[in-house]
Amino acid sequence: MVKKNSRFIAPAKALDAGKSEHKLVSVIVPAAGLGSRMKSYGPKCLFPTSNGSTILNKIISNVKKVYPHCEIIVATGFESDRVVKTVPKEVRIVENQLYDKTNMVESIRLSLNNAVNNDIIIINGDLIFNVFTLQNLTQRGSCALIDTQNRFQKNEIGVTAAEGNVVHFSYGLPTKWAQIVYLTGKELNLFTTFCNDRENNKRYTFEILNMVIENGGRILADEPKGMQITEVDSIKDIPRWDK
C-alpha cells in the first residue's frame, strides 16, 4: 500500500504558528493560475526573481521571517507537480483540480477548509514584497494592506477607505489594494461562509471581501511603514530592490 504524502492530507496537528507575540496564523497562498498575462508558459508563481529564487519561494521565505512557526498552505492548480517540487517540505499543498473552470475563491475555499488555525493571512501568489510588509499585520484585527504610493498599476483593484476602514473594493480607485488580507473573528467567519457557497467559486477575492463588509464585517485599511511590494505580470515588473 502506497503511503500518501501528508502534505496533501486535510487533517493536521495544531501548530505553534507565528511568533509568541502574534496570534496563531495560517498563511494561504493561492497559486493555481496559468500566468497567461505573463506568457511564461508555466505557473506564474515559478517565475524567477532577481535574486535567483521563484516568486513563490520568495513569498514563503519572507513569511517565515515574520511568522517562523506559521502554517503555510499553497493552493496549486496548473502544472501542480512542478510547483510542488519547488517548495519546502513543510509547506502544505492543496490542489484545485478545477483551476481552469473556477477563480481564486475556489483555491481559497479549499485552503480554508484545510487550515488549522482560526486566523488567516491570504497572499496572492504573484507578489514580491519585503518583510516590513507583513510585520504587525495581525495586531489590530482583520485588515487589508493598501497602497497610496503607486506601487500597483492603475488597472488593479482599489479601495475606498473611511475612518481607517475599507468601505469598498473596486476597480478605478486611486488607492490600491496590496492583495494581502488578514482575517480573524467575525470577518473570517463571514468570508469562509461566502467562499463555501459553490455559487461563488467563480468570483474574485475582492468580491467576497465586499460581501463581508456589506454584512457587517470591519476590515481595517493598513499601509505598513517601510512596505515594498510589487505585483509581477511580466519580466519588467521584477523590482530592482529585491536583491
- Specify the range with the lowest mean pLDDT, choosing from 11-25, 50-64, 228-242: 11-25
Give DSSP secondary structure letters for 155-211: TS-EEEEETTEEEEEETT-SSEEEEEEEE-HHHHHHHHHHHTSGGGTTS-HHHHHHH
- Specify the range with the lowest mean pLDDT, choosing from 26-35, 154-163, 233-242: 233-242
The CA radius of gyration of the chain, in Å to the nearest whole number, is 17
pLDDT digits (tens, 9 = 90+) for 107-122: 999 999 999 999 999 9
What per-residue confidence (pLDDT) applies to 29? 98
- Specify the range with the lowest mean pLDDT, choosing from 26-35, 137-146, 195-204: 26-35
Write down the pTM of the prediction: 0.89
- Specify the range with the lowest mean pLDDT, choosing from 27-31, 67-71, 186-190, 192-196: 67-71
Integer angstrom CA distances of residue 221 from 25, 81, 111, 134, 215: 19, 36, 24, 14, 18
Q: Which residues pair with 147 in a beta bridge?
A: 176
pLDDT digits (tens, 9 = 90+) for 217-242: 999 999 999 999 999 876 666 666 56
